[in-house]
Structure 1
């Protein structure tokens, strides 16, 4: 059949839909050289006419044509309503395996609607005459043979990012002109909803677009026009000749449009060209919030947390338990239906059906009463996804009930199911808008008409307040909910006082004394409050996001308490995440009274410990029960915390070392080479530090003229604005000068240092003249035996297990890592506390220990000394370097690269060495491990789990 023959035949036709639809489709097949359904699929398994389908709104329906993976097709008679046909076809979509194309036709035109998941829908309209155009005919051919060719380029995520960014920039421009940011935020959210309402036709006939076009013609009237429209949306009524539904007096209770310039109106008008009906609420809110909140505008282009990541908490805490319960109820319902159908007595049948209806009603009522609390809800993305999941489950249950012959129910799960607490007023209001938009989208996508009067049901359950500290310093109450989910704020424990202020910090310490350590990250308070809610019966379970550092250090104490009073049943220990626009590493932790087998990192396990590791049925080993050992106390220290620009370049320090001072004392007394994590893992940067010790008064410090003048200019202005009184008062000293560390270093000529955060746990020797900063940890011992034990596989495994993480990189801590580590008996820090040492013929140094442990001390020291020598020779080959004495006695020689080897020497770092793992290094470590294993009285053939189990047993025996 030619296009002309097809066009002429169907232009003349006056047949009704029932008489013409199948013949019209078969003619199309002939025109496109495609097989008809019966020819392509005689069984009708994947391609047929009159495909039966359960509508999303309930009831049995029939799609006129269906081709699996291609299209659902609905016919209407000529000049009938094809919008209604599309809505009807949309209701069939789930039962048709969600075809990527939904096509409607009245035999004079064919409209192809794309329905690819995650894309912004496109629409192609073809009239009969269009079929003469080969390019238009090709569209139909692709629908039959290759629907992927019609996949829209624009994704809903890309559209949402673009819409949020553009609207955020528009709002920012208003703020920059001096408008109050809160007023801009409120006004912007009202306009946002107008754009959305227009695209889903709640505002009829492109009303908002026409208003803006009139505003461009009559700019002096635009403020009044917007006021009239928003006031009408608040109450319902007429806007000109257009009838406006009653939306809600919450979002539109306060109507105060801001004055808009012509450029503002033009930009706003350009927004109407975007498809606001397709925005993704779960990501729009986060991105839009950044545009409205002055503190977050720098993140306008930053990434967001994708919905799939959020579902890793929503699914196990909210949906999976409910689905499991529904499966049990559904099985019982099927048994009752079978019994009713088999019953011979009407009375018996009615009794079974009554029970059946009661089960369905009970399950639906349970969902209606289910409450989800997000006590740090931000712009509402967690709440929206939880609500969407609850509505999907409710819809599934309603359809299942109808298939069993029960009366169709109308969905009742709605915004009343979600509760929120949010301190930021921008986000709190936006969370309500996010939930509203998501609710409306779901209803329309599933073919339901919107309940009205009002359209936007009040959401008074998202409270704007602080979730962990009340204004009066007391502990806030959280509302009762079935479950708690969310992404609480991340703020390191060391930064809390500085960013939150002394009063807030003191309130946290007071309220949560004994429950949350003072040094814990801010997020830990949400974990503790959620645990407490579960403990007193005001919630069943919780699923929260935390920085991955919650697995160790003081943070882990909140997880210890969780494991003592309830259980962790699902967790992801170390995952990428986006927080406030920045890429971070997090732990996702679900805990509470949900009875389900534990799952860690998507694998079933026997038990999940507080450090987010799994226990097995063979080896019972919970290292989180390890205790700090008295024998290890006051040996490992974090370096100084300066809180100011005390660092100076080595060349400048050397200039100052030559200068006299009025009191005849040398600057060498206040200038020291600095060591931080970079110096240890890479190469020494030749950075020095000004150090006035722990108690030098300002009146004495000022005699060191150049160093003092330097910090007066560089440090004093910053420190005098610090929240800590002591930091302000003693601004010329390091904020935390570590007097305990300095006392422990007294009389040592060298000490052991390790980077606080590093890919590999390496230890290095430093001359006692060096001062370590907080990026390095020091062990105040000078013997090779201690050095070797720390570098053994025993301590390596323990440190990885007991330490925390910064991102994906392991972090060493004095308390949980060093002070819990059980050294071999006789070689513990307490046994070597005298600092008395002996130098062996090889040059290795051993501590003074009891005679029965001397052989082990020597073996370990010799192996450690050999390892260190080999490494030093590789790091600083004598042929490549010159050793230059410092200009003042008492400092170690400087290592200077010979010019021809400078580039190669830069690559000689401990990190690069351990990346390479050359055979000599592996062998040296194996020899060291064997010596340490002998001191423990065990074999190096033990598995990692067995080594950790032995160490844990030693720890608990000594604690």
Structure 2
């Protein structure tokens, strides 16, 4: 069939929809050289007419034509409303497996609506005469054969990001002119809703665009015009000759437009060209975050949260348990339907159908009464996605009811299902706007008409108040809800008092005494409150976001308290997150009553511990959160000095001072030390030195070292004088934490062991005693190769990874109290056994401590293996043929390592991080030899798995504590 033949035939046709639809479609197939449904798929499994016809209810089916993965197609008679046909397809889209194209036709025209997930919808309208145009005919051909060719280029994410950026820049211009940030945020929300309402047809005939165009002509009148429009939206009525619906909802209760300049109006007018109907509601959160004073963000928890991350909590806490319930109900319904169809007696049949209807009604009522609480709701993104998920599930259930032959139910899930608590007034308002927008978008995208009078129903369930401290200093109550979700504010424990104030900090300490440690991060209070809601029956489960610090140190106690009562059933322990423009790493934690399997980082496990590690199926119980510090390890591991000021200097300046005399005869060598930090240790040293006046040298004594003292006066004193800490101000020439105990422990040692606090690879090295370690290094006050070997072994590495904290994406954080103090060394070789520092040098050069005779053989084997490993590493790091060793300008310091010119570039690559990234065979072999020696000292076989080693270490720890 040619285009002309098709056009002539259907221009003359006067058949009604039912008589004409299938013939019209078959003619199109002939025109496009495509197979008809019956020819392409005789079974109708993936391509057919009247897909989903339900004879028991006399329904028309889900679509007049359906081709899986391509389109749903609905016909109407000429002159009928094709918008109604589109709504029908939108309603049944889930039953049609969400086709990427929704096509409607009245025989005189064909309209293709794109419905690709995550894209801004496009629309193509083809009249009969358009079919003569090969390019337009190609659109139809693609619908049948290659719908991907019709996928819109613009995604909703890209559109949302673009709109958020442009609008936030517009709002920033208002703030820069001195307008209050909250007033700008409120006004912006109202204008954003106007843009959205216009694009979905609630503001008719491009009303807002025309208002802005008139405002550009009459700028003096624009403030009044905006006031009139917003006031009319608050109550409903006429705006000029246009009838405006009653919007209400509180968004327009307070109308105070800010003065706009011509440039503001032009920019605002340019926004009308964007498709605001497709904007993700999360844009409002982004806008609000950028519209606030940055100093408030930490307290408010107001920041953009990406939907995929939110769903990691919403899915297991809200949706997966409900879907599991629905699957069980469906199974019962199927059994009842089968029994009803087989019943010979009408009475029996009616009885089965009554039970069937009751099950469906009960499940829908279950959703209607399901409540989700976000007690730190910010812009409402969590509530929006939870509501969307609930509405999707309700829609699925309604469609299933039709498939069972029941009459279509009406949706009842609405904003009443979501509850929120938000401290900031405008953030609480914004959460309501986000939920409103999300509800409206969902209804329109699924073929439902909006209820009116008012359009924006009041959402009183989102309360504006503090979630963890009342104004009178008492503990707030949270409303009863089925589940709790949210992203409480990220604020470290050390920053709470400074940002929240003394009164608020004191209230937290008082209210949560014995429940949350005073030094815990702010997020911990939300975890404790959620736990208490579950304990008292006011919630069943919770899913909250926290920084990774939740599983470390004092913070972890709130998770331990949760595990005493219930379980963590779903968690992601280390996920990247963007907060306030910075990449941080967070944990998603779901806990409470749930029948779901226990899942950690996407893998099913037997249990999840308080440190967010897990016991995999078949593994041993290795909950190292129960490990306790051992007396035998005390006073051995220390954190390096903390400067608090520019005490560090480069080597050139240091050597100049070392050879410069002082008037009083003091030698600068007393206070100029080599300094090493974690970067020096894992890379090539940067020739860094430090001014170190010790732990108790007076200001008068420090002044005797003329040049170093003047340097500290110039570079440190002013900064220290500005600090609130009295000691920092008063003792400005001393380091903030000079580590008296560490210096005392190192005083008699020729060398000591060090490891970075945060590192990708857990590596220990030797430092000569005169080198000052930075706070990012942990120091072990031992000089023998036995301690060095045990710490470097796989056995200690496994323990350190299990007991460490995690520092974002940078690596494991070694901690003196958890990693070292709890580690059970082999019997007879513990730090206590080697505490007298009496050492012996073997012929090999290895050094062993003085230990009991029965442990000497193991000490020798470990020391030799450790010494050999260290020598191999040193030769790789500094090949003798590549370097020169140059004595320092004065005695008492390690030699300088200088690269020979021809090897300078190669030597730069010789760093411990690079070495352990490469893992050459000689390194692996040396470590294996050491591991065998250490395992023998424990009396263990070398073939143990990591889990077996961890369990044995935990048992040793527990036995020695007892």
Quick one: distance in 2 between partners of 1:213 and 1:568? Answer: 56
The secondary structure found in structure 2 opposite 1:125 is: strand
CA RMSD in angstroms, aligned pairs only: 2.7
Deviation by residue 1:803-825 (Cα, 9 ceiling, x = unmatched):
12112411111111111100001
Cα distance 1:671–1:499, how it changes in 2: closer, same or farther (>3 A)?
farther
- Between 1:934-943 and 1:85-94, the stretch displaced more is 85-94
Deviation of 1:686 (Å): 1.2
Distance 1:792 1:373 in 2: 48
Instruction: Give the 5 Å matches for 1:232-381.
Output: 232-281=232-281, 283-295=282-294, 305-339=305-339, 352-381=352-381
Secondary structure of the equivalent of 2:77?
A: coil
Mean Cα displacement is larger for which, 747-756 or 687-696?
687-696
Question: CA 1:751 to 1:512, structure 2 compared with 1: closer, same or farther past 3 Å?
Answer: farther
Any conservation in 2 of the 1:167–1:291 contact (CA below 8 Å)? no
Alpha-carbon spacing, 1:641–1:526, altered in 2? closer, same or farther (3 Å): farther
TM-score for the superposition, normalised by structure 2? 0.94
Distance 2:340 2:928 in 1: 74
Q: Which stretch of the first structure deviates more once superposed, 222-231 or 803-812?
A: 803-812
| Counterpart secondary structure, 2:649 | strand
Q: Find the aligned partners of 1:415 and 1:319 in 2 and give their Cα distance.
A: 16
Shift of the alpha carbon at 1:503?
Answer: 5.2
Q: Distance in 2 between matches of 1:339 and 1:47?
A: 31
Deviations 1:509-554 (A, max 9, x none): 4444443344444333322332232223222111122233433433
The structure 1 residue matched to 2:909, chosen from 907, 910, 933, is: 907
Between 226-235 and 642-651, the greater mean CA deviation after superposition: 642-651
Match of 1:38 in 2: 38
Deviation string for 1:87-121 (max 9, x for gaps)? 22222322222221111222222211111111111
Whether contact under 8 Å (2:87, 2:448) holds in the other structure is: no
Instruction: Confirm or deny that 1:817 pairs with 2:819.
Output: yes
Q: Mark the runs of 5 or more structure 2 residues left unpaired by the alignment.
A: none
TM-score by length of 1: 0.94
Q: CA 1:506–1:149 in 2, change beyond 3 Å: closer, same or farther? A: same
Which deviations, in whole Å up to 9, do the C-alpha atoms of 1:558-606 show, x marking residues without a partner?
A: 2222222211111222233333333333222111121333122222222
Is the Cα–Cα contact under 8 Å of residues 248 and 454 in structure 2 kept in the other structure?
yes
Aligned to 1:198: 198
| Range moving further from structure 2, 547-556 or 378-387 | 547-556
Q: Quote the residue 1:786 is aligned against.
A: 787
Q: Quick one: distance in 1 between partners of 2:718 and 2:438?
A: 49
User: What are the equivalent positions in structure 2 for 1:112-123 lying under 5 Å apart?
Assistant: 112-123=112-123
Shift, 1:154, TM fit = 0.7
Match of 1:777 in 2: 778
Whether the aligned pair in 2 keeps the contact of 1:293 and 1:426 (CA below 8 Å) is no
Q: Which moved more, 1:919-928 or 1:314-323?
A: 919-928
> What displacement does 1:499 show?
4.8
1:741 deviation in Å? 1.8
CA contact (8 A) 1:211 1:225 kept: yes
Equivalence for 2:900: 898
- Greater shift in the superposed pair: 182-191 or 436-445: 436-445
Larger mean CA deviation between 8-17 and 317-326 belongs to 8-17
Deviation at 1:761, TM superposition (A): 0.7
Aligned residues of 1:303 and 1:582 also touching (Cα < 8 A) = no
Q: Does 2:953 match 1:951?
A: yes
- Structure 1's 185 and 870: CA in aligned 2 closer, same or farther, altered over 3 A? same
2:21 counterpart residue number = 21
Q: Distance in 2 between matches of 1:697 and 1:506?
A: 36
- CA distance in 2 between counterparts of 1:902 and 1:332 reads 76
- Number of residue pairs aligned between Structure 1 and Structure 2: 955
The equivalent residue for 1:761 is: 762
Instruction: Report the secondary structure of 1:124's partner residue.
Output: strand
Deviations 1:215-257 (A, max 9, x none): 1111111111111111111111111121111112411111001
Correspondence 1:859 to 2:861: yes
Give yes or no for contact 2:785–2:848 (8 Å, CA) kept in 1: yes
Instruction: Give 1:609 deviation, angstroms.
Output: 1.9
Matched with 1:668 is 669
Q: Deviations 1:774-801 (Å, cap 9, x if unpaired)?
A: 2111111111111111001110111111
1:509, 1:737 → 2: CA distance? 30
Could you give the per-residue CA deviations for residues 643-682 of structure 1, whole angstroms, max 9, x where no partner exists?
Answer: 3222222212222333344543233333222111101111
Aligned to 1:385: 385
Is the 1:58–1:402 contact (alpha carbons within 8 Å) kept by the matching residues of 2?
A: no
Whole-Å Cα distance in 2 between the matches of residues 364 and 193 of structure 1?
Answer: 31
Greater CA drift, 83-92 or 190-199 = 83-92
What's the counterpart of residue 709 of structure 1?
710
CA distance, structure 2, for counterparts of residue 782 and residue 337 of structure 1: 80
Partners of 2:445 and 2:771 lie apart in 1 by 67
Distance 2:158 2:53 in 1: 33
1:105 matched residue in structure 2 = 105
Aligned with 2:93: secondary structure? helix
Q: Does structure 1 retain, via aligned residues, the 8 Å contact 2:50–2:60?
A: no
The structural deviation recorded for 1:889 is 2.7
1:436 matched to 2:421? The reply is no
Q: Secondary structure at the match of 1:94?
A: coil
Task: Identify the residue that residue 5 of structure 1 maps to in structure 2.
Answer: 5
Q: Distance in 1 between matches of 2:506 and 2:673?
A: 36
Change (3 A) 1:317 1:208: same
Aligned-residue offset at 1:406: 4.2
Q: CA deviation at 1:191?
A: 0.6
Gaps of 5+ in 1: none
Cα pair 2:289 2:303 within 8 Å, conserved: no
Selected match of 1:873 from 863, 875, 897: 875
Change (3 A) 1:853 1:543: same
Distance in 2, Cα, partners of 1:5 & 1:345: 56
Change (3 A) 1:640 1:490: farther
SS of 1:930's equivalent in the other structure is helix
- Structure 1 equivalent of residue 733 of structure 2: 732
Shift of the alpha carbon at 1:504?
A: 4.7
C-alpha distance in 1 between matches for 2:14 and 2:408: 37
Cα 1:62–1:681 change in 2 (3 A) is closer
Structure 2 residue aligned with 1:210: 210
Decide whether the 8 Å contact of 1:681 with 1:910 is kept in 2. yes
Give the drift of 1:954.
Answer: 0.4
| Whole-Å separation in 2 of the counterparts to 1:745 and 1:559 | 37
Aligned equivalents of 1:391 and 1:728: distance in 2? 59
Equivalent position SS for 1:516? coil
Q: Does 1:692 align with 2:686?
A: no
| Structural mapping, 1:583-622, within 5 Å | 583-615=583-615, 616-617=617-618, 619-622=620-623
Aligned to 1:924: 926
Corresponding position of 2:545? 545
Gap change, CA 1:67 and 1:425, over 3 Å in 2: same
CA distance in 2, matches of 1:304, 1:425: 18
Please say which of residues 799-808 and 37-46 is displaced more in the overlay: 37-46
Structure 1 residues 58 and 328: alpha-carbon distance in aligned structure 2, compared to 1, 3 A threshold:
farther
**What CA distance in whole angstroms lies between the structure 1 residues aligned with 2:324 and 2:363?**
12
Name the SS for the 1:515 alignment partner: coil
Give 1:344 shift: 6.4
Residue 506 of structure 1 and its aligned partner are, at CA, apart by 4.8
